[in-house]
Amino acid sequence: MRPESVAEAAKLLKGLDRPIRPVGGGTKPWMASGDEEPLETGGLDRILEHNVGDFTAVLEAGVPFAEAQATFAAHGQRLAWDPPMGSPPHATIGGIMATGDSGPLRHRYGGVRDLVVGASVVLSDGTVAKSGGKVIKNVAGYDLAKLFAGSYGTLGLIATVSVRLHPLPSKTATIRVASDDPDELLVRTLELARRPLEADCFDVVWRDGAGELLVQFSGAAAEEAARRAGELVDQDWEAVRSLQRSPDGAVLKVSGRPTDLPAVIRAAGDATVVSRAALGLSWIAFAPGEDLAARVAAARAALSPRACTVQDGAPRIGDVWPDAGGALVVMERLKARFDPARIFRPGAFVGGI
């Protein structure tokens, strides 16, 4: 199924009685299930509004992220999302919102939902619900835009997204702090994190037994600010983002505290770690191998009770979600409220929702 408009999507969904999976650019094939019929958003590919003076935009879910950024850049603006794009880089606006996939810019600008100011969604009964922006119809009591961000297509189809934009920086500069001791690396990281630095990105990368803290500054005074903080380097940030992916292996996303960094590095073993160091978010990228599932399981056990979610490699690992605890009851109620027919990826989310 590939609707060409929101109205057509609503018509397709009304009365549907089989499992479906919203699909954007297909950059996360590990999320697929053979039991779900794809609902492609490629026909919803229009930039509906770009309010240059207000730094906002309204886009259909199937707009390629790269295309949107090129449009904004022509006016000196950007959407401060920078997820790992995969290969080829076909990620879409709706797909990024649905997965909550973020990159190094999260340090300064927040996660995906922090830059979403509104959305329209199509529910399993064909209802089109909207929140934020120019509201036409709300679902009482819910902020749909925040709720659907990171829902992995399990509540309904994201149809349009309203976002907040930022100025495109004129310059960027990056510093590097290196150490092969996880504890020393944490000390240096916390020391810099406590300084009044206006950094865009604040990432730690650990691989092959050595680590480095990478901090990016932007704006006219970027280079001067960077020099005050450390050693200037020419850094490819796309290479850093790419470390969050391991299509043939597995990736374990760890949500904890900034002080958990040494524990994450040690639990990773020979795997690569990239961490939003000041936020306590880390990704452990495991290389492929016959013992892949065992390595992932060992890392999860070592990091318990921190929340660990398997990303790349899900079909090879089994249960990918952390224990939701008491929140599971709320999530089950939300599923029943928004998808009572259970056609949107049934059983694919936390707790088998």
Tens digits of per-residue pLDDT, 167-186? Answer: 999 999 999 999 999 999 99
Spatial strand order in the sheet of 56-60? 47-51, 56-60, 157-164, 116-122, 128-132
Ordered structural domains, the chain, with CATH: 6-167+341-352 (3.30.465.10), 172-317 (no CATH)
Q: Average pLDDT in the 18-37 region?
A: 81
Round to whole Å and give the CA distance between 286 and 264: 13
Is pLDDT at 292 greater than 90 in this prediction? yes
At residue 350 the predicted structure's pLDDT band, cuts being 50, 70 and 90, is confident
Is pLDDT at 323 greater than 80 in this prediction? yes
Residue type, 178: A
β-pairing, 20-23 vs 37-40, is parallel
pLDDT at position 254? 98
Q: Where are the alpha helices (DSSP H) in 195-324?
A: 222-229, 237-242, 261-268, 292-303, 314-317
Q: If we measure between CA atoms, which residue out of 154, 118, 123 comes closest to residue 136?
A: 118
Q: What are phi and psi of 37, to 5 degrees?
A: -80, 130
Token code pair at residue 172: 């960027």
Highest mean pLDDT among 81-95, 144-158, 258-272, 339-353: 258-272
Round to whole Å and give the CA distance between 36 and 155: 14
Is pLDDT at 86 greater than 80 in this prediction? no
Percent of the chain clearing pLDDT 90 (strictly above): 75
pLDDT at position 139? 52
3-class state of residue 140 by DSSP: coil
Alpha carbon of 112 to those of 219, 258, 272: distances in Å? Answer: 22, 20, 24
pLDDT per residue over 184-229, tens digit each? 999 999 999 888 888 999 999 999 999 999 999 999 888 888 888 8
pLDDT at position 161? 97
336 or 225: which leads in pLDDT: 336
Q: Average pLDDT in the 142-155 region?
A: 90
Contact partners, residue 351, CB within 8 Å, separation at least 6: 321, 324, 328, 331, 332
pLDDT at position 135? 40
Is pLDDT at 134 greater than 50 in this prediction? no
Among 80-89, 94-103, 165-174, 214-223, name the one with the lowest average pLDDT: 80-89
The answer to whether 283 and 253 have CB atoms below 8 angstroms apart is yes
Q: Average pLDDT in the 106-111 region?
A: 96
pLDDT at position 181? 97
pLDDT at position 141? 56
pLDDT at position 175? 95
Instruction: Write down the residue that tokens 């292996």 correspond to.
Output: 249
The answer to whether 244 and 310 have CB atoms below 8 angstroms apart is no
pLDDT at position 133? 58
